[in-house]
């Protein structure tokens, strides 16, 4: 099967002659080829979006919101079909795939409130007979470059608020799992979105560079690794665009001596191994405070980890996690595990030798647990993006806090404790964008904003919530005075409140 693009309201074949393989991660087999767009194909999508955007912007916000309202209904109708397509290409379990879609759906629900979120401000009689008011107006054509690990959620985080604001949108999803983004675009058309307002262009670096350089695109959002986030941010800003980029993570979970150890262990297993660790909010570092806390935590973690069920999504709803997305990802994770052993970390559970009968060529890595990891080790410094949990023992609370604060990434962090004072101090002091208190994966709901600090984010506005409406609009302020019949001649002094 060949997967092309979605331009001007319909699927179109790729014209560049270049393709990438789309794998079934559970079997290692190629199940489709996806077209990789040329710069000319990106330009075609931008031209169509530019033509469609003015009429869409002129549509009143309430009518735009009704399209999203119908889109939400269609998402619920097609949830199982979308989840199956997502699992088939990504490898995540069906419940996790439905969660991927649901979290995007919730942003669409939030964007139904666009009429309220787009309201400006007004001051009457700001000066003698002068009124001042502000308007939020769309930027024009925006673009999103989204990653493989959430092929439904993150595209919806990007295009739903952009379209609700009156923009047209160019989506460049991951070429590793391209089917669901096109299916979402088809549902938007079914919901009543005019053709051309949402374009989906599959591709690699050539398509990314074409988006970053195109003068017809005013704003770009990106989610992926930090090196590429820095590249996209620098190149997009140099081209005069508004850019927001979200990069890598190394999320710590501090476990205080007074924490409920069973609760903490359950949270670590779910947050560390869910989706095979391929989440930017996965907990990859456990930081127990004190050796007795560490020993008690490890004692509970090992049997839980050894009972995890790893397999393809077709094996049923009780599978805990599936394969990694590609063979290269699998080999990279195995290599990092080996590096951890070589650098002196204590390997308590080794997932490198995991095999599954009938799926020997699948991209599976078993759950892996390290203890006595040091901050200078590669497995601590780098984002592994696999089912690997590292335990770094801290002598006290201040040392645990410093570990999270000193790491170059600042996406998410959590603390497990019964002490409200410690939790409050931690939340106030830690230099990380999303904080969980007895919550292992503190992903904010759709009406708050999502974003990290330090090298996890570039740009001054976050994803979804109110920040999304700020990012996808420009503020225009109008100062107005209507003739009153009084003539006083020209004024050469800036207006004041006199």
280 catalytic residue (yes or no): yes
Phi-psi region of 464 (alpha: psi -120 to 50; beta: other; left: phi over 0): left
Closest CA to 351 of 343, 363, 383, 253: 363
Report the distance separating Cα 47 and Cα 210, nearest Å: 13
Strands 130-138 and 122-127: antiparallel
Q: What residues have CB less than 8 Å from 210, skipping those under 6 apart? A: 37, 38, 39, 42, 43, 203
Look at residues 470, 464, 469 and name the one whose alpha carbon lies nearest to residue 444. Answer: 464
Which of the following is catalytic: 111, 160, 245, 280? 280
Q: Give the N- to C-terminal CA distance of the chain in Å, as an integer.
A: 72
Instruction: Encode the chain in three state secondary structure.
Output: CEECEEECCEEECCCCCCEEEEEECCCCEEEEEEECCCHHHHHHHHHHHHHHHHHHHHCCHHHHHHHHHHHHHHHHHCHHHHHHHHHHHHCCCHHHHHHHHHHHHHHHHHHCCHHHHCCCCEEEEEECCEEEEEEEEECCEEEEECCCCCCCHHHHHHHHHHHHCCCEEEEECCCCCCHHHHHHHHHHHHCCCCCCCEEECCCCHHHHHHHHHCCCCCEEEEECCHHHHHHHHHHHHHCCCEEEEECCCCEEEEECCCCCHHHHHHHHHHHHHHHHHCCCCCEEEEEEECHHHHHHHHHHHHHHHHCCCECCHHHCCCCCECCCCCHHHHHHHHHHHHHHHHCCCEEEECCCCCCCCCCCCCCCCCCEEEECCCCCCHHHHCCCCCCEEEECCECCHHHHHHHHHHCCEECEEEEECCCHHHHHHHHHHCCCCEEEECCCCCCCCCCCCECCEECCEECCCCECCHHHHHHCEEEEEEEEECCCCCCCCCCCCCCCCC
**What would the two tokens of residue 427 be?**
């939340």
As annotated, the active-site residues are: 280
């Amino acid at each position: 099967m060949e997967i092309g693009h979605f331009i001007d309201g319909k699927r179109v074949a790729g014209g560049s002659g270049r393709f990438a393989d789309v794998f079934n991660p559970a079997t290692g087999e190629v199940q489709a080829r996806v077209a990789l767009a040329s710069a000319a194909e990106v330009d075609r999508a931008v031209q169509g979006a530019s033509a469609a955007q003015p009429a869409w912007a002129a549509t009143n916000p309430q009518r735009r919101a009704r399209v999203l309202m119908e889109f939400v209904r269609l998402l619920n109708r097609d949830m199982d079909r979308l989840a199956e397509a997502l699992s088939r290409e990504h490898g995540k379990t069906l419940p996790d795939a439905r969660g991927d879609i649901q979290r995007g759906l919730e942003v669409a629900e939030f964007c139904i409130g666009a009429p309220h979120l787009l309201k400006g401000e007004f001051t009457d009689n700001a000066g003698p007979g002068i009124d001042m008011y502000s308007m939020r107006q769309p930027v024009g054509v925006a673009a999103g470059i989204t990653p493989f690990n959430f092929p439904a959620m993150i595209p919806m985080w990007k295009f739903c608020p952009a379209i609700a604001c009156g923009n047209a949108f160019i989506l460049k999803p991951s070429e590793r799992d391209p089917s669901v983004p096109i299916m979402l675009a088809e549902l938007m058309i079914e919901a009543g979105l005019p053709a051309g307002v949402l374009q989906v262009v599959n591709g690699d670096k050539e398509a990314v560079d074409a988006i970053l350089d195109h003068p017809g695109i005013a704003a770009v959002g990106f989610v992926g690794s930090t090196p590429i986030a820095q590249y996209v941010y620098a190149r997009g800003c140099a081209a005069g665009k508004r850019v927001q980029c979200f990069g890598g993570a190394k999320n710590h979970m501090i476990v205080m001596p007074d924490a409920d150890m069973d609760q903490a262990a359950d949270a670590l297993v779910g947050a560390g191994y869910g989706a095979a660790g391929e989440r930017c909010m996965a907990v990859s570092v456990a930081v127990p405070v004190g050796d007795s806390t560490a020993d008690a935590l490890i004692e509970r973690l090992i049997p839980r980890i050894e009972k995890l069920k790893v397999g393809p999504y077709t094996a049923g709803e009780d599978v805990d996690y599936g394969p990694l997305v590609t063979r290269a990802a699998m080999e990279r994770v195995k290599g990092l595990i080996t590096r951890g052993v070589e650098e002196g970390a204590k390997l308590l559970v080794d997932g490198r030798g995991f095999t599954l009968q009938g799926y020997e060529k699948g991209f599976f890595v078993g759950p892996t647990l390290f203890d006595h990891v040091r901050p200078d080790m590669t497995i601590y410094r780098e984002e592994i993006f696999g089912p690997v949990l590292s335990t770094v023992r801290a002598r006290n609370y201040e040392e645990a806090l410093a570990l999270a604060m000193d790491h170059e990434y600042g996406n998410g962090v959590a603390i497990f404790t019964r002490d409200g004072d410690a939790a409050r101090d931690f939340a106030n002091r830690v230099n990380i964008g999303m904080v969980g208190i007895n919550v292992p994966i503190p992903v904010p709901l759709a009406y708050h904003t999502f974003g990290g600090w330090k090298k996890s984010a570039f740009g001054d506005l976050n994803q979804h919530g109110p920040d999304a409406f700020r990012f996808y609009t420009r503020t225009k302020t109008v100062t107005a005075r209507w003739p009153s019949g009084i003539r006083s001649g020209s004024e050469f002094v800036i207006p004041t409140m006199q």
